[in-house]
Amino acid sequence: MTEKKDEKVEQEAQNSPEAPVQEEKAPQTEEAPKAEETKAEVAETAAKPTEAKAEEKTEEAGEFDWDSLESGQDAYSEKQRSDLEQMYDNTLNTVTEKEVLEGTVIALNKREVVVDIGYKSDGIVSLNEFRYNPELKVGDKVDVYIESLEDKKGQMILSHKKARATRSWDRVNEALEKDEIIKGYIKCRTKGGMIVDVFGIEAFLPGSQIDVKPIRDYDVFVGKSMEFKVVKINHEYRNVVVSHKALIEAELEQQKKEIIAKLEKGQVLEGTVKNITSYGVFMDLGGVDGLIHITDLSWGRINHPTEIVELDQKLNVVILDFDDDKKRIALGLKQLTPHPWDKLDETLKVGDTVKGKVVVMADYGAFVEIAPGVEGLIHVSEMSWSQHLRSAQDFLKVGDEVEAVILTLDREDRKMSLGMKQLKEDPWEKIEENYGVGTKHKAIVRNFTNFGVFVEITEGVDGLIHISDLSWTKKIKHPSEFTSIGEEIEVVVLDIDAENRRLSLGHKQLEENPWDVFETIFTTDSIHEGTVVDLMDKGAVVALPYGVEGFATPRHLVKEDGTQAKQDEKLDFKVIEFNKSAKRIIVSHSRVFEDEKRADDTTKRKSQTRSTKKAVKAVNDNIEKTTLGDISDLAALKSQLEKKEQKERQEDSKK
Bridge partners (DSSP) of residue 272 are 284, 314
Which class for 559: exposed (0-12), middle (13-18), buried (19 or more C-beta within 10 A)? middle
In this predicted structure, what is the pLDDT of residue 204?
92
Distance CA 595, CA 604 (A): 14
Q: By three-state DSSP, how is residue 436 classified?
A: coil
Tell me what percent of the chain is helix, strand and coil, each rounded to the nearest 5.
35, 30, 35
DSSP character for 510?
G
Distance in angstroms (rounded) separating the CA atoms of residues 174 and 70: 64
CA triple 288-293-297, angle to 5 deg: 105
pLDDT at 261 over 60: yes
* pLDDT reading at 616 higher than 70: no
Across 563-576, b (16+ Cβ under 10 Å) vs e yields eebeeebebebbbb
- Between 626 and 504, the more confident residue is 504
Give the list of residues 6+ apart from residue 480 with CB closer than 8 angstroms, or none. Answer: 448
Type of residue numbered 69: L
C-alpha span between 590 and 527 (Å, rounded): 12
Residue scoring higher pLDDT (457 or 227): 227
Q: Which DSSP string corresponds to 208-271?
A: GGS-SSPPS-GGGGTT-EEEEEEEEEETTTTEEEEESHHHHHHHHHHHHHHHHHT--TT-EEEE
**Partners of 355 in beta bridges:** 403
Place domain 262-336 in its CATH homologous superfamily: Nucleic acid-binding proteins (2.40.50.140)
Looking at the domain 515-588, which fold is it?
OB fold (Dihydrolipoamide Acetyltransferase, E2P) (2.40.50)
**597-to-96, 148, 394, 603, 652 alpha-carbon distances in Å:** 136, 134, 70, 10, 13
Residues in the chain: 655
Phi, psi of 348 (to 5 degrees): -70, 130
Q: Is 627 a residue whose pLDDT tops 50?
A: no
| 56 has a pLDDT exceeding 50 | no
More confident residue, 607 or 529: 529
Distance, in Å, from the CA atom of 289 to the CA atom of 10, rounded to the nearest integer, reads 76
Question: Can you tell me whether residue 363 is helix, strand or coil?
Answer: coil
- Which pLDDT tens digit goes with each residue over 67-120? 655 555 566 677 777 777 666 655 555 677 777 888 889 998 888 889 888 777
Domain at 100-247, CATH class: mainly beta
Cβ atoms within 10 Å of 218's Cβ, excluding its own:
17
Using the predicted structure, report yes or no on whether residue 532 has a pLDDT greater than 60: yes
pLDDT in tens, 575-608: 888 887 777 889 988 888 887 777 766 666 666 6
**How many helices and strands (H and E) does the chain possess?**
10, 30
Instruction: Express each pLDDT in 462-481 by its tens digit.
Output: 888 888 878 766 777 888 88
Query: Which CATH number describes the domain made up of 340-423?
Result: 2.40.50.140
Most confident of 76-90, 271-285, 341-355, 450-464: 271-285
Contact 145, 158 (CB under 8 A): yes
Higher pLDDT, 369 or 473: 369
Three-state DSSP at 133 gives coil
pLDDT per position as a tens digit, 137-190: 888 888 888 888 777 777 788 888 888 777 778 888 888 888 888 888 998 888
Closest listed residue to residue 270, CA positions, set 208, 221, 336: 336
293 pLDDT tier (thresholds 50, 70, 90): very high
pLDDT of residue 652: 59
Q: What's the whole-number average pLDDT of the chain? A: 77
- C-alpha–C-alpha distance, residues 120 and 222, integer Å: 41
CATH H-level, domain 427-510: superfamily = Nucleic acid-binding proteins (2.40.50.140)
Q: Is the pLDDT of residue 643 over 80?
A: no
Assign residue 294 a region (left: φ > 0; alpha: ψ between -120 and 50; beta: otherwise): alpha
Question: Are 443 and 505 within 8 A, CB to CB?
Answer: yes
Average pLDDT over residues 276-285: 89
> Helix 33-61 crosses helix 78-91 at what angle (to 10 degrees)?
170
* pLDDT tens profile 322-352: 775 656 788 998 888 888 888 788 788 888 8
pLDDT at 247 (0 to 100)? 82
